[in-house]
Amino acid sequence: MTSAGQVKEPKEEIMQVTINKSRLELVEGDITEQDTEAIVNAANPTLLGGGGVDGAIHRAAGPELLEECRTLGGCRTGDAKITKGYRLKAKYVIHAVGPVYHREGPERAAELLASAYRRSLEVASENNIRSVAFPSISTGAYGYPMEEAAPIALRTVIDYLKSHPDIELVRFVLFGHRAYQIYERALKEILAQD
Ligand code: ADP
């Protein structure tokens, strides 16, 4: 029993900023539940499924997603390919392949990570998609330190939105409070510099 005044409101973490004509959001949550037109998958080069976000997206989308992925012939690191979203709320999944941090080393990893975000947005633009949700690519099994990845991810998305108002909303969906806080801090630092 909770007595009056002690009821805990679920605290929704959210930060929203305007970049040129577009909205950039940070939320704490689960990417599979997003209602953006597209969600981005942190995929591996086979595009045949895996753990982490990839596993969660395939489970939520259903087996047709893997069937379509099998027809794509994989995806290079730093690139992205699109499929339908099947049972997801999102109409599309954009499968982006980020770098394995320790395989590439910090400099090459940074280029490839930026490329994965940029290519995802280019694929969205090519398909007339106006809203995209991203997870924190490469920061799970691929070992990219989140404090390093967050400014690269945010900077790349901000640069893209400045010249591509066709994308109306980009939402970063951060898994857990620590991830949310790292992205929030990074975004505040970028905005303070600009
Ligand atoms: P990668 O192989 O690119 O590192 P992972 O899926 O292992 O991809 O992890 C990427 C990030 O996604 C991690 O920070 C992880 O905590 C987060 N993550 C895991 N499940 C979800 C989910 N359902 N929604 C959003 N983010 C998630």
In this prediction, residues 117-129 reach a mean pLDDT of: 98
In this prediction, residues 140-155 reach a mean pLDDT of: 98
Residue 29 Cα to ligand 1 midpoint, Å, equals 11
Q: How far is CA 58 from CA 13, 45, 99, 129, 179, in A?
A: 26, 15, 21, 21, 22
pLDDT band at 13 (very low <50, low <70, confident <90, very high): confident
Integer Cα distance of 101 and 112 in angstroms: 10
Q: Report all structural domains of the chain as residue ranges with CATH numbers, in order of start.
A: 25-193 (3.40.220.10)
Atom of ligand 1 lying closest to residue 143 CA: 4
pLDDT(3) > 70: no
| From 1-5, 120-124, 163-167, the region with the lowest mean pLDDT | 1-5
Atom of ligand 1 lying closest to residue 32 CA: 23
Residue 56 Cα to ligand 1 midpoint, Å, equals 9
